Chain A
Amino acid sequence: MNWMQRQRLLGYVFIAPNLIGMTIFMLIPALFSFYLMFTDWVFANGQPPQFIGFGNFKRMIEDDLFAVSVRNTLLILIPVPISIMLGFLIAVMLNNRVYFQKTLRAFFFAPYFTSGIAIAFVWMVLFQPSSGPINAFLGSIGIADPPKWFASPDTAMYAVLIMMTAGGIGYNMIIYLAALQEISSEQLEAAKIDGATFGQLLRLIILPLVSPTTFFLMITGFIGSIKGFGMIYAITQGGPANSTTVFSIFAYKKAFNFYEMGYASAVSWTMFLLILGITLIQWAGQKKWVHY
């Protein structure tokens, strides 16, 4: 065995634990769920899976809750560009000389390294309709009938959108900060000497130079949002009246409340196709605005 071959072997040894873990915990379940989506399998009822072709997809189309979950899943994409924009603006601010720069950076990033469930519970308290601080403030400025936030089917989704927007800012800010540090100061100084205003610097130099970062954040943000589950489930379980049921909660309820694994697999693969479609569209569109 020569040096090159030994290196190759070493490479396989290093990736083996991950590969085995991926195979057992991700690949095999994914392939199994692909098979299950064409069956009517109900877990723990003693019956083997029966092949029903596209029966689960037919059922999905006729299911009112599926339509609700599609709408809500598309709605939770809205926080992605908003939190990217806010993350970028904060990063630009913190990249310049400001007082308490490090403290502010830690402050904005804190939600990212805090448990999502803990953050969700903080939002739950903030949005508490009768005794929460947000409604207390709204009451103090004369709003007699403030929104019920998570407690009303009319406003629960808005509360989720606000929570998710705020939750994404810290991560986006840190990634942008790293990208901003990569921009050569010569380019910025040259532009300044040529008389560029701050707005022009931002629009014509900084934004194009961080566009690969923006692209990365858009892709991962959309994927994360569509898969979003924990924070919403922790507060609303998809309610009240299914008003915050998104794809992942819909699939979870079918799988783990009713053990309908075949149907839940079909929903999960539909979610995968949605993510794939949105990612491909973004990938195709990047040529027009991402500068490498």
Chain B
Amino acid sequence: MRKRKWLNTGVALLAAVSLTLTGCGGKENGNLATGSASPAASAETTPSAAPNKDPIKLTMWGAVPAENGPQAVVDNWNKENPDIQVEYVRFVNDDAGNLKLDTALMSNQPVDMYVNYDFSLYEKRIKAGNALDLSPFADLNVDDKMGTGAALWKVEDKYYGVPTSKGLSFVWLNKDMLDAKGLPVPEEWGLDEFKQYANVLKGDKVWGAAQSDYYFNVPINGSMLKQSQYLTNADGVSAFDNPLTVKALQVYSDMMFQDKSLMPHTEQITSKPALDQMFVKGETAMLFSTQQIFRTTNNLKEYPRTFKVAAAPAPKVNKDQTDYINAGGLGDVLSINPHTKNPEAAWKFIKWYADIGMLPMAPGGRVPASKDFPADQAISLMFEGVEDTYDMDSIKRVMFGNKPLGLSRLDKKSGSEQQVIYDKIFSQKLTPEEGAKELARVHDKNLKAAQ
């Protein structure tokens, strides 16, 4: 009987040990969660990046697949800097992938630097103490180097990450299809013209246009961005209920259900077509998306195509709109984890990455933001070996032009709840007028909740 008790005690002890171990982990997490965002404390206790027998090891997390540039970046760095070796870890830039990164940041896994792609997540990481305040690193003036667009990434007037690339949304065009219909490459257009083009270009098993999921918000939000990054009116209430929103929703609805030139939205989100492949296969004449499509259009081996690719700016709601802000701006914001043991080494890498290091990212469509970056070199690398398959005039005009760019700071909850409303509008459960009111209602509700 006594022995049995002993055995039971053993099992209980085993469980207790595992509990304690987990508890220890939890405690550490707790400390991390409330860790200071100030670099001063960690910098003081940090070993310097001076030459060392054992090289400093840094881990950088980013969402671009390693083979699309990042691996070449770290290989170049590691060759030049034997004392600081960087490893690249890829996370997928979706909810699950960002959760993985946030969990890694919270649980003291080796993350020395990471790339932010979304303002709300960036802001959240700052508030959670997971992004280092870069103010003490005085040897780089981010505003001066990256231009005025960088300030969009300031939180409480401080940088917690360095925006490294210029990104924007635009319309990819199958120039051969446009030529066949006698349509010029648009240099400036609104949704009416976009609709007209799609209607002319549609054909048997060819959509006139396709666009990334929920891209209707690009012209809608772009019409409000100038007055407020938070998409509000001067009085602080939601600006969504306006005639331009109604018009955008109506045009898209007509394209889906009247002209049948655009795949119905709910069909798209539930059948998940690979839009980039649709475009290179000639299954859609136009594709409204981002520059990440370069990964596909530049890869003629895996995605062969015979047509030329041209580009047009994102359509405004009305062609003559003067206060329109194009969705885009500076992005790929590289932050340092405050819990890194080597902030100086990480900073050294970031400066190099922004200035020259990200060159191998160019073929994947990454346009460097730094004014000191060898832009011509990046452009030639971007189109190396495939120049003839692009209408370079329109590509350069759109990608390197001087359109006003901006990013919205719409909160994630409103964005998510508005997706449900877009679903209802484009399954014809709500009229465009009702939809615009609903978009404003959920936005206002969340604005009030945040106060």
Closest Cβ of chain B: how far from A24's Cβ, in Å? 5
Closest Cβ of chain B: how far from A162's Cβ, in Å? 14
Known contacts A46-B34, A240-B423, A258-B412: does B267 contact A148 (CB below 8 Å)?
A: yes
Partner-contacting stretch, out of B7-15, B66-74, B152-160, B340-348 = B7-15
Contact A46–B270 (Cβ < 8 Å): no
Of all chain A residues, the one with the shortest Cβ separation from B125 is A44
- 5 tightest Cβ-Cβ pairs between the two chains A and B: A46-B128, A241-B423, A240-B423, A150-B270, A151-B267
Q: Beyond the given A1-B3, A48-B30, could you list 12 further A-B residue pairs with CB under 8 A, ordered by the A residue number? A: A8-B7, A44-B33, A45-B128, A46-B34, A124-B270, A124-B271, A128-B271, A151-B266, A151-B269, A239-B420, A241-B429, A259-B102
A-B contact pairs, 8 of them (CB 8 A): A19-B15, A28-B18, A44-B103, A130-B263, A153-B424, A156-B270, A241-B420, A242-B420
Chain B hits for A257, CB < 8 A? 95, 412, 416
B4 interfacial contact with A, CB 8 Å: yes
Closest Cβ of chain B: how far from A119's Cβ, in Å? 15
In the bound assembly, the distance between CA atoms of A97 and B30 in angstroms comes to 65
Known contacts A8-B4, A12-B7, A23-B19: does B270 contact A239 (CB below 8 Å)?
A: yes
B105 interfacial contact with A, CB 8 Å: yes
Closest Cβ of chain B: how far from A125's Cβ, in Å? 8
Closest Cβ of chain B: how far from A115's Cβ, in Å? 17
Chain B hits for A20, CB < 8 A? 14-15, 18
Partner of A151, one of B22, B271, B412: B271
**Total A-B residue contacts, Cβ distance less than 8 Å:** 119
Of all chain B residues, the one with the shortest Cβ separation from A132 is B271
Partner of B18, one of A23, A150, A152: A23
Contact A44–B11 (Cβ < 8 Å): no
A236 interfacial contact with B, CB 8 Å: yes
Chain A hits for B34, CB < 8 A? 46-48
Chain A hits for B95, CB < 8 A? 256-257
A5 interfacial contact with B, CB 8 Å: yes
Closest Cβ of chain A: how far from B34's Cβ, in Å? 6
Chain B hits for A218, CB < 8 A? none
In the bound assembly, the distance between CA atoms of A44 and B125 in angstroms comes to 7
B127 interfacial contact with A, CB 8 Å: yes
Known contacts A44-B33, A130-B267: does B7 contact A258 (CB below 8 Å)?
A: no
Of all chain B residues, the one with the shortest Cβ separation from A32 is B26
In the bound assembly, the distance between CA atoms of A130 and B205 in angstroms comes to 11
Indicate the size class of the contact surface on chain A: 35 or more
Contact B105–A28 (Cβ < 8 Å): no
Contact B3–A46 (Cβ < 8 Å): no
Interface size on B, residues (CB 8 A): 44
Closest Cβ of chain A: how far from B267's Cβ, in Å? 4
In the bound assembly, the distance between CA atoms of A24 and B105 in angstroms comes to 21
In the bound assembly, the distance between CA atoms of A16 and B106 in angstroms comes to 30
Which chain B residues numbered 257 to 301 have a C-beta less than 8 Å away from chain A?
263-264, 266-267, 269-272
Chain B hits for A16, CB < 8 A? 11, 14
In the bound assembly, the distance between CA atoms of A239 and B412 in angstroms comes to 17
B211 interfacial contact with A, CB 8 Å: no
Contact B424–A151 (Cβ < 8 Å): no
B253 interfacial contact with A, CB 8 Å: no
Partner of A23, one of B15, B33, B128, B419: B15
Chain B hits for A5, CB < 8 A? 3-4, 7
Chain B hits for A44, CB < 8 A? 33, 102-103, 105-106, 124-125, 128, 130
B181 interfacial contact with A, CB 8 Å: no
In the bound assembly, the distance between CA atoms of A140 and B271 in angstroms comes to 22
Chain B hits for A242, CB < 8 A? 420, 423
A178 interfacial contact with B, CB 8 Å: no
Of all chain B residues, the one with the shortest Cβ separation from A130 is B267
B40 interfacial contact with A, CB 8 Å: no
Of all chain B residues, the one with the shortest Cβ separation from A156 is B270
Chain B hits for A43, CB < 8 A? 102, 106
Known contacts A20-B18, A44-B102: does B416 contact A241 (CB below 8 Å)?
A: no
Which chain B residues numbered 84 to 124 have a C-beta less than 8 Å away from chain A?
95-96, 99, 102-103, 105-106, 124
B129 interfacial contact with A, CB 8 Å: yes
Contact B267–A129 (Cβ < 8 Å): yes
